[in-house]
Amino acid sequence: MKIIITEEQYKRINEITIFQGVSSVRPTHLDVLHIIREKISESTYNKAIKEYLKNVLGYPEKFTNKFISHYAEEVPYIRDDSDRYTEMPKQLKNPEVLSNLVYFLSKKFLKIRMLGNLECYIDDSGYDKAFYFFDPELETCVGYISCKPIFDYYNGIDLPDNSYAVNSSQVDAELKGRGYGKEMYLSVLDYVSVLLSDTALYGDSLNIWVNVLPKYVYVGALYKKSGKSPKIMSPETKILNHQNVERYFATKKPKLITQTK
């Protein structure tokens, strides 16, 4: 199905927006947990949780099946088999413990691969691709990047096959400032030919595109003005008005990028 829009609507849709502050969303491990629970039976899930509590945490208590089935979800209280509510033990609510649990489950039930310096699960069950990242040393979830495919050409450049644009991205709140954002983007660029930015960027994401990625890969800025050549960026490049940029793009293979006539 084709949708016809006006030129003005197209411009509004594609204008890059710089948001103040940082994005605030739920921890990545909850999204990965949802994926796992969709793939396995409840009995298999419960058995794996019990294995983690006993063999990894060395937790002495024996928990009810209802506790097990709800553990790791974002709930402060657990209903037991007698329909009584009890507060979850503080140790088990620790975000690092929950993230480690989901890493443990992911290694058992998902196809995890090394991508760059991180471990990654790629969810391509739908039209888009979602990259969920893990630190193999800390054995925790660290964040994700969700992308949609882009075909043929885009605002002044021809795009090769396997080109994607970012829908959304996140480094978990407690891990910001540790370099995971850079590693996640460089990992995705090991997998895709060309990666384009989202059109709405928070400060952290904008910093990745204009200050960090140009140190490691070929990065360019695509301007809104029709016919204006893409600007290739280096660590010394200064863009005074990011509102004039439609999207940024990055690739580890600059020979793939050609300008449209």
What average pLDDT does the segment 182-187 reach? 97
What average pLDDT does the segment 73-101 reach? 71
pLDDT above 80 for 66: no
CA distances from 140 to 32, 44, 226 (A): 11, 21, 44
Residue 10 binned pLDDT confidence (cut-offs 50, 70, 90): very low
What average pLDDT does the segment 16-40 reach? 74
Beta carbons of 182 and 190 less than 8 angstroms apart: no
What average pLDDT does the segment 28-36 reach? 94
3-state secondary structure 144-186: EEEEEEECCEECCEECCCCEEEEEEEEECHHHCCCCHHHHHHH
Pick 163 or 26 by higher pLDDT. 163
pLDDT (0 to 100) of residue 85: 60
pLDDT above 50 for 3: no
| CATH 3.40.630 corresponds to the domain 1-26+111-261 | yes
Lowest-confidence pick of 33-42, 102-111, 200-209, 231-240: 231-240
Residue 7 binned pLDDT confidence (cut-offs 50, 70, 90): very low
Percentage of residues in the chain with pLDDT exceeding 90? 47
Lowest-confidence pick of 3-7, 13-17, 220-224: 3-7
Q: In Å, how far from its chain's centre is CA 235? A: 24
Residue 223 binned pLDDT confidence (cut-offs 50, 70, 90): confident
Enter the pTM of the model: 0.83
Helix (H) or strand (E) holding 24: none
Q: What is the residue-averaged pLDDT of the chain?
A: 82
What average pLDDT does the segment 33-38 reach? 93
pLDDT (0 to 100) of residue 78: 57
pLDDT (0 to 100) of residue 86: 64
Neighbours of 245 (CB within 10 A): 24
How many Å is the maximal CA-CA distance in the chain? 71
Tell me the residue length of the chain.
261
Residue 17 binned pLDDT confidence (cut-offs 50, 70, 90): very low
pLDDT (0 to 100) of residue 82: 60
pLDDT above 70 for 23: no
Q: Please count the helices (runs of H) and the strands (runs of E) in the chain.
A: 8, 16
Residue intervals of the chain classified under CATH 3.40.630 are 1-26+111-261
What average pLDDT does the segment 81-99 reach? 75
